[in-house]
Structure 1
Amino acid sequence: MTRLLAAMMGFVFCVPAFALDANRQGVDVSALAQSNSWRALLHIPWGENKHSYIDDPRYFLAKDGPSNRTAELVATLAAFAQDPESTACRFPARYQWLQQEGVLPPTLLAHCDEYQQWRTQTDINRVVLVLAASYLNSPSSMYGHTFLRLDPAGERSESAFLSYALNFAANIPAGENGLLYAYRGILGGYPGLFSMQPYYEKIQEYSRLENRDMWAYPLRLSAEQIDTLLAHTWELREINFDYYYFDENCSFRLLELLEVALPDVDLTSRFTRAAMPVDTVRAVIDAGLTEEPEYRASKRVELELLLADFNGEQRRLINALATRDDALASADFVRYVDLERQAMAMAAYRYLRYSDNRAQRSSAGAARSLALLREVQGHGRIEWPQALSPAQPDQGHPTSLFALNVGSRDDRQYSTAEWRISYHDALDSAVGYPAGASLSMGRLEVRWQEGRNADDDNIQLQRFDPVAIRSLAPRNGFFSPLSWQVDAGLERLDDAPEQSLVSRVSGGAGFSAGVLGGVAYALPGLRLEYNGDAKQHLRLAPHVALGQLWQGAVLATELSFSYSDFGGDGERRSVSVSSNWAFSSAYALRGSVVYRHQPWGESTGIELQWRYYF
């Protein structure tokens, strides 16, 4: 027993001779355990005495490895002493780091056939951070999504279609309800996993099926850093992480992965509350790790660009070409010159392919596509317009907000402090954000209000919105998307005698269209409200929202009208005009005038707000 204890104590301070470089006599385990490289490999946050983000015990060799760096390092060294080759094959990134520190010999990975075969297949010479634009029709993609594109070396590097996509996502059961996903995603109800797939599948998913623009930011990583990243990716196979929608999400996990390749670069510590994809991209840019980004327009953007040069008659003919078999032979079509027919046939072909993206292709549709393609190819080559790169998403305003406003309603003064966790509303600067999209999470307003008498002044919760979403997607002769909105939370009826704080859920769906250089919308729906001060506490009212929105990089304005009918409890109407002036990406001023006609009376209010984005 004495000899065994002596051997164990000796191992803590001195690794067995087989594992040492010839020029080394011992290992300072404590110093190695505190290194940034070891912290990053264990996914431990920056700072002292932190617990690993990895929740899967299979990743650790010590029982207290998630919270004890030294214990995990001692257990790792013990595993290498007992079975060096198997341990190196299981933990190639740990092995490479210890080998670079002079602790282990340089040849152990040569015996890892499965790992070497995988590395041969993934012969990567460039890593690219890809941001897919936000997509409001999917709860998991409302804020956008990031993943890493792994570009192969050699001849395969000529096309990004041959690249791999390294992705982190929640492991969601098939057919999961969207609302259940949002609930469980916020509370950490899903495990998250890293996975690799062909990059062209991501293009199909985002650019074609969901019509999302994609931005690719090449990363300045050396060959050695890329090798470390891939070695650690191998270690994380089938390893579970807790997935949280706001912070420990796809984008945050990628930053952790990059810190393994760049252990002295702090990319993660700023994201303590939320890690919005575009903000994590900004963190990588701020660290000086990116090159000039590449833009990939969605198929819808490309199609809208192609359709833009046609007049009304030609656009109707293009629609006919895509939907009727006899349109190619019609007199309306053949009267155009060759180049015009070619251009219209190409637009019709692209539109038909776009329309068939989500539907199962029919034999009639395939025959029509072939006929249109033959018409295009029968008139020689033609140059098609290329989508110009819009403002980069990282150049938009930050996603968190703090605001102060002063206002007056019927000669009563008030001031409000507002905090919003994320993300963007319709009047914020449109630079870098999808047109018509409004998504606010965690919006909180606290108000000081002047009372009827001097003793009545008070501070109270004015509003709390866990979620408020609106998507305005204009319709035209080719596209007929649904516009919709949903919001839920607490709202104070500040002009009512009781100033009740009510709970409400409202939603609606309708349409929007391009009008007067902006977007006009009509969104009928329902409002469910609980008011403890009312005779009937729970009430359901038909509701409609009408408006006109103009968005811009600096100025934005919205005219809106809302109407709710609570039956015996009366009708509520409001008319408002609001304007926002963004004088930088971090600061804006907003003003509004609101008239309300409600069962308890009429009121007119005016507000001026200073907004700070961070």
Structure 2
Amino acid sequence: MAIAALLFSANTQAFLPTPLLVTEGALSSELSDSTSPSDAEDAVRIETSTLSNTGNNTQNNTASGSDMATEQLLATWRRQAKTDNLAQHTIWRRLLYFYDDQSSILSKKKTESLVDDPRFFLSDNGQQDSAAELDATLVALAKEFTSQTTGNNQANIHIKTQANNNSVLCRFPARVAWLKEKLAIDDASLTNECPELDDWMATLAPEQLSIVFAEEYLDNPLSAFGHTLLRIDSKSSVADPNQISQAYALNYTVDGDPNDSFPIYATKSMIGSYDSAIEIDPYPQKLAKYLQDDERDTWTYQLNLTSSEVQQVMRHVWETKALKMPYYFTTDNCASEILRLIDVIRPQQNLLKQLAYVVVPSDVIQLLNSQNLLANATYTPADNTLRQAQLNDAKQQRAQLGYHNSAKQTLNEIKSAQINPVSSLSDDGQWLRKRQIEVSDNNPIDRHPLQLGVIAIGQRGDNDYIDIGFRAGFHDTLDHASGYSQFFNLEGVAATLRLYDTDDDKPNQPDSVVLQNATLIRGRSFNPINAGNKGKTWGASIEATRVNDGSQEGGRDHLVGSVGYETGWSWAFGTPSSGTGQMSPQLCYTFLAGTAQAGRAINKGFRVGAGVNAGCRYQINNQLRAQAELQLPYWYHGSSDESNVRGHYWQPISSLGLQYDIDKKQALRINASYDWQERVDANEDIQLSYRRYF
């Protein structure tokens, strides 16, 4: 029988495909269309039994029999893969970073993997062809299978031990796990010891995944849009979520150059000049950064994933954690990566496809919630929030007992992070203390949608107009406040077109259609000096806007580019929510402001201004808010030889805003302003707008 087997394998070797040769299109050229999935599964079971028996033959028979068994097994897998079209399966292509249903201006063609690193592929053509990569993987698996079932001698064991960490089972465990399921391969018949992978999984011990949202932090512009990361829980931290010493944080971030200046750093992050990085750190260390260093509240939501899905996510993280891929701050960021990981295991939900081009962490939270993927929300207050709760209690007691110096000293001591180092973390930072305050109204699930459309009717001077506007994000101080940190004010990528109903018989009429405003970024960070926050109060803007420079009598308004910066002070007043770490809902502020504007139509083509901006915001009730502001800029154009043209002047402007929320997605707003400069062609402007958030 041994001689017959040897002769059979020798005679037929010439007619069999080369065992280890992988060619593009092998799946389509070598698989039979007539083979049914059930036949393929039966063949796998038969060949598995045959392979086990083969290992009992002589060493020479084993070598030739192994080659033949490899080819038989590979042919069977290829037939089944073709029948099920596994090469084009959504999960397989997503495991390889092919995204057929996602469009991106900055990404590659849909027919090409986003990964450039050749180490991520077994096939030389794997980046362009998912079928070639599948075939190469099947070849490698067939080799692993037959070597394990026939290689029982000491030499083979030694060779296998040396190459363990580089085997396909160790390098790409997520791909292998998926193929095992699809090809009905028994786990026991295709296993390997992977010391590096096994140690990594044993350290993390993943049992449950949660998404953590750290609220927006305007004092660090790169954190101004919030941040998300994954919390990896072990059995210990699942049993007691406060035992965070047994949890890890998976953070997808930018691998930037810390020596770059902020403008360069921000620009490179936007355009993909930096690589991304996957950081896996002890969770207490990461949480302390948000709660104590940045003083940002966090919300943690358990992801509704099964145990097998959690394991598959972590296997895929292992495959991709060393990849160097371009990081795009607005499109491929911390939030999009979490959706990508979930899309790998839940392809039918197409989470990434449901988001707008710009991916914002709070939108990701809302999307996951709408897809029923979130559970067990947990609020963790930052250090300043806890101090604010103490301040609120002390102020209420002070109001009851009356003012005295010792009470004032107590308030100052409570506000001091050095004197009063209160925290949600234990002294050793390894576990969470039980929360002692009520939940703040900053759950991102509750916030209004990010985008905003506006239509308004108004009157400027003697001219009626209609405004049509759009804002990509985020929020201003009159918008509905639920879901945001208090007094949050950050707007970006906004534009307004104004359509005038002009009278041609009157002089100095405006154009029928004008660009009223185009904002790149505009925001203010309010940290009241009488509150628990430690940051400064400041503001900044980059925009194009229409102005009347006031240097000439009866001049028309003109579009100019404008850059401004403010720094100052703010104060919270009123009665705060009892038992919470929220500040009082009312706010007053004073800024020292500087602005530079340039435009061909204004006097000298430029003007620079400095002055004071002061105002107050008042929350009448949960649906109605008002804000009043007075701007006192002094403008300078430069000296002029013309007697009727002024080179410098004051131009005070007062404004009032009032917003009523119909619901979370709709609101009405009244805006009114008066320009106190006597030389402008129209002093007053009043409008009523309908605002739709979407």
TM-score greater than 0.5 by the shorter chain: yes
Q: Which residue does 2:559 correspond to in 1?
A: 501
Correspondence list, 1:396-545, <5 A: 396-453=447-504, 458-476=512-530, 481-493=535-547, 497-515=555-573, 518-545=586-613
Separation of aligned partners in 1, 2:86 and 2:114: 20
TM-score normalised over the length of structure 1 = 0.84
Aligned equivalent of 1:209, options 270, 284, 293 = 293
Residues 316 and 175 (structure 1), Cα distance of their counterparts in 2 relative to 1, 3 Å cut: farther
TM-score normalised over the length of structure 2 = 0.75
Aligned equivalent of 1:561, options 627, 630, 640 = 630
Q: Which residue does 1:592 correspond to in 2?
A: 671
Whether contact under 8 Å (1:492, 1:502) holds in the other structure is yes
Separation of aligned partners in 1, 2:127 and 2:465: 50
With 77-86 and 7-16 compared, the bigger mean Cα shift is at 7-16
Whether contact under 8 Å (1:55, 1:242) holds in the other structure is no
Residues 518 and 55 (structure 1), Cα distance of their counterparts in 2 relative to 1, 3 Å cut: farther
Q: Which residue does 2:408 correspond to in 1?
A: 316
Post-superposition Cα deviations, 1:295-316, rounded to whole Å, max 9, x if no partner, equal: 0011111111123222254543
What displacement does 1:271 show? 2.3
What displacement does 1:45 show? 2.5
Post-superposition Cα deviations, 1:579-614, rounded to whole Å, max 9, x if no partner, equal: 111111111111111101236325111111111111
Alignment-mate amino acid for residue 97 of structure 1: W
Whether contact under 8 Å (1:483, 1:512) holds in the other structure is yes
Whether contact under 8 Å (2:590, 2:614) holds in the other structure is yes
Correspondence list, 1:247-396, <5 A: 247-310=331-394, 311=398, 312-313=403-404, 314-318=406-410, 352-354=419-421, 385-396=436-447
Correspondence list, 1:163-182, <5 A: 163-182=247-266
Whether contact under 8 Å (1:305, 1:387) holds in the other structure is no
Q: Which residue does 1:332 correspond to in 2?
A: none
Structure 2, unaligned runs of 5 or more = 1-13, 32-67, 103-109, 146-163, 428-433, 575-584, 637-646
What displacement does 1:391 show? 4.8
Whether contact under 8 Å (1:300, 1:354) holds in the other structure is no
Correspondence list, 1:574-593, <5 A: 574-593=653-672
What displacement does 1:235 show? 0.5
What displacement does 1:460 show? 2.4
What displacement does 1:446 show? 1.6
Separation of aligned partners in 2, 1:535 and 1:464: 21
Alignment-mate amino acid for residue 661 of structure 2: A
Post-superposition Cα deviations, 1:161-213, rounded to whole Å, max 9, x if no partner, equal: 32100110011212433322322222222211212101111221001111111
What displacement does 1:100 show? 0.9
Q: Which residue does 1:91 correspond to in 2?
A: 172
The higher radius of gyration belongs to 2
Separation of aligned partners in 1, 2:15 and 2:78: 23
| Residue-pair matches, total | 565
With 426-435 and 33-42 compared, the bigger mean Cα shift is at 33-42
Correspondence list, 1:69-218, <5 A: 69-81=130-142, 86-102=167-183, 106-107=187-188, 108-154=190-236, 157-158=239-240, 159-218=243-302
Separation of aligned partners in 2, 1:384 and 1:206: 16
Separation of aligned partners in 2, 1:456 and 1:204: 56
Residues 479 and 135 (structure 1), Cα distance of their counterparts in 2 relative to 1, 3 Å cut: closer
SS of the residue 2:604 aligns to:
coil
What displacement does 1:392 show? 1.9
Post-superposition Cα deviations, 1:218-237, rounded to whole Å, max 9, x if no partner, equal: 11111100110000010012
With 74-83 and 174-183 compared, the bigger mean Cα shift is at 74-83
Q: Which residue does 2:45 correspond to in 1?
A: none
Separation of aligned partners in 1, 2:519 and 2:125: 40
Post-superposition Cα deviations, 1:451-498, rounded to whole Å, max 9, x if no partner, equal: 341797522222111111111111117655311000012112279734
Separation of aligned partners in 2, 1:180 and 1:502: 25
Correspondence list, 1:27-42, <5 A: 27-29=80-82, 31-42=85-96
Structure 1, unaligned runs of 5 or more = 323-346, 358-368, 370-382
Alignment-mate amino acid for residue 563 of structure 1: L
Whether contact under 8 Å (2:237, 2:246) holds in the other structure is no
Separation of aligned partners in 1, 2:93 and 2:266: 31
Separation of aligned partners in 1, 2:291 and 2:270: 27
Whether contact under 8 Å (1:274, 1:421) holds in the other structure is no
Alignment-mate amino acid for residue 586 of structure 1: K
Residues 523 and 252 (structure 1), Cα distance of their counterparts in 2 relative to 1, 3 Å cut: same
Whether contact under 8 Å (2:518, 2:545) holds in the other structure is yes
Q: Which residue does 2:105 correspond to in 1?
A: none
SS of the residue 2:354 aligns to:
coil
